Structure 1
């Protein structure tokens, strides 16, 4: 990611954070609509609490984009836990699409092509690290 992309992600997330509960609900609704195979992963999960965790995790990642060494080990650990939950590689794509859609809904006109591209770059970086970690033998 370029420094400009990092700045765009960080600045735009400041506008999402105040509506984080609504954004989390939009995200999970969209995810389950576009990829019903993800719904069973959350059957015994309080989605309100899960949404808070999601937004906290996104905030952690966004803050750490300037210091990847602080976020990549956590992302790798999270990916290994996700293997145990039954998350598949294909689901990373639908999660990314749901995230970008949610950001578009939450940011409205502020979700410019440049902001969208920056978020796509951030998600691609993170998801590639997570997929690679999930492929590691003994990842579960």
Structure 2
């Protein structure tokens, strides 16, 4: 089932603009390898779920998959062929706002070749160009 918040203060949110690069969530924190966004987009909860399913199939119980994005923003839509006025439409789906540099998925417990293949399958489903990144060495 697609992800969505349990509770929100306001059901409907304004569209907003995605400006600048990611300053938070832009490095591999939990796993060994990650999938980093190179563009900005609204990624729907259904797309995130599709990436999770593909990652679970690719890892096959040997490693662990971490999802680093969550759909907090509600996206509304008005039905087709509706006259002007009558207010804002109902919530159509929930989306995660992704900036360039955001690490969206991470994997651990598998080799680099398997991780590269798994993250490539996820990247194919994402609406933004992505790249494979590794954890930085810590001192």
TM-score range, shorter chain: 0.3 to 0.5
Higher helix share: 1
TM-score normalised by the chain length of structure 2 = 0.36
Point out the structure with the larger strand share.
2
